[in-house]
């Protein structure tokens, strides 16, 4: 090797090493819409990534804006692709080739007509039974919904106008979500019958032993109000980070699991960092499923890194 060649190689190496170090330390940018379940779920992922040697950054913004930032290359991951509610934004980003749909990260997500557990146990399991004479009187022909103008309230008002399930002469009571839940809370404490708009994952599913009724007319959408929450990744990031993609494909939760940590965060008002840490420490078998075939950033055992941090 000539002296000139040595000088050239040294210069290139001197430039490339800082660039490589910068690339390795670039944080994974995660979009976090202001929803309790996504807030804690993203924090769980962030702590797991930190254990594996990856830096991450949580960017709070709405999901619609989140899709746009993936198109512009300003974010990398979002655990909040709620479908079919976000179909318009999702389809636009897909058509632009900006995103990769990795997986449904919450199984069992659903919305619809809901009742507390003691009403369900009494035999009310379908919205078709709401207006039966013996049930109508106990409900007071009242149905509690959320904010007027919200899509869920529009759906039930349209159903009442069409006399679906005999709701035409029921009083549909629109309120804020906290207002609706205060009514549910009061009824639950007195074991009174109440029908309301419910969804899971949410702490209401835990606190009120909530059951979502069968909805054969699909008032709350296709597949009786069932939804998916997709893990969305920026296309370029997905192509360059196979190890992270392996983790994301396996990072899936049930609606019940997410409802539990939503309850700890929103109802008990515990810090998201504590809720996430405790969940990771308390669920080693679930975490092992997430980490199957995954390594640390340095290529070491992800499972051993987790056990060293949380066991």
pLDDT digits over 144-196, tens only? 999 988 888 999 999 999 999 999 999 999 999 999 999 999 999 999 999 99
How many alpha carbons lie under 13 Å from residue 306 in its C-beta half-sphere? Answer: 26
The residues pairing with 253 across neighbouring beta strands, listed in sequence order, are 106
Is 0.75 topped by the overall pTM? yes
Mean pLDDT of 264-292: 97
Residue 16 in this model has a pLDDT that exceeds 50: no
Residue 9 has a pLDDT of: 44
Residues contacting 36, CB < 8 A, separation 6+: 202, 203, 262, 265, 266
Mean pLDDT of 77-104: 94
Mean pLDDT of 96-125: 97
298: buried, middle or exposed (CB in 10 Å: 19+, 13-18, 0-12)?
A: exposed
Mean pLDDT of 197-225: 95
The residues pairing with 229 across neighbouring beta strands, listed in sequence order, are 82
- Taking CA atoms, 221 is separated from 112, 218, 225, 226, in Å, by 9, 5, 5, 8
Name the pLDDT band for 25 (thresholds 50, 70, 90). Answer: low
Residues in the chain: 311
Residue 304 in this model has a pLDDT that exceeds 80: yes
- Taking CA atoms, 71 is separated from 81, 196, 237, 303, in Å, by 15, 38, 12, 33
Residue 42 in this model has a pLDDT that exceeds 50: yes
Helix 255-262 × helix 272-282 angle, to 10°: 140
Residue 44 has a pLDDT of: 98
Mean pLDDT of 250-257: 96
Residue 279 has a pLDDT of: 97
Name the pLDDT band for 8 (thresholds 50, 70, 90). Answer: very low
Name the pLDDT band for 255 (thresholds 50, 70, 90). Answer: very high
Name the pLDDT band for 298 (thresholds 50, 70, 90). Answer: very high
Residue 311 has a pLDDT of: 77
| Bridging pattern class, strands 106-107 and 253-254 | parallel
């Amino acid at each position: 090797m000539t002296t000139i060649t040595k000088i050239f190689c040294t210069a290139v190496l001197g430039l490339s090493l800082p660039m490589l170090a910068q690339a390795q330390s670039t944080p994974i940018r995660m979009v976090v819409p202001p929803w309790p379940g996504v807030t804690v779920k993203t924090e769980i992922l962030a702590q797991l990534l930190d254990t594996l040697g990856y830096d991450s950054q949580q960017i709070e913004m709405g999901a619609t804006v989140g899709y746009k930032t993936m198109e512009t290359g300003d974010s990398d991951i979002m655990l909040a692709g709620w479908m079919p509610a976000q179909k318009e934004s999702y389809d636009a980003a897909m058509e632009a080739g900006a995103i990769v749909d990795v997986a449904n990260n919450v199984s069992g997500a659903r919305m619809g007509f809901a009742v507390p557990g003691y009403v369900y146990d009494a035999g009310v399991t379908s919205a078709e039974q709401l207006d039966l004479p013996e049930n109508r009187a106990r409900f007071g022909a009242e149905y509690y919904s959320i904010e007027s103008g919200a899509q869920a309230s529009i759906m039930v008002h349209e159903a009442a106008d069409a006399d679906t399930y005999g709701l035409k002469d029921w009083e549909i009571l629109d309120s804020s979500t906290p207002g609706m839940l205060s009514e549910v809370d009061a009824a639950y404490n007195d074991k009174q019958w109440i029908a309301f708009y419910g969804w899971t994952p949410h702490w209401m599913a835990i606190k009120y032993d909530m059951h979502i009724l069968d909805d054969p007319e699909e008032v709350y959408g296709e597949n009786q109000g069932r939804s998916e929450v997709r893990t969305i990744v920026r296309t370029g990031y997905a192509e360059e980070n196979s190890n992270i993609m392996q983790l994301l494909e396996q990072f899936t939760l049930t609606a019940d699991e997410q409802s539990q940590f939503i309850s700890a965060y929103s109802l008990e008002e515990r810090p998201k960092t504590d809720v996430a840490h405790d969940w990771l420490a308390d669920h080693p078998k679930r975490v092992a499923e997430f980490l199957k075939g995954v390594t640390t950033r340095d290529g070491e055992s992800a499972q051993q890194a987790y056990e060293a941090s949380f066991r």
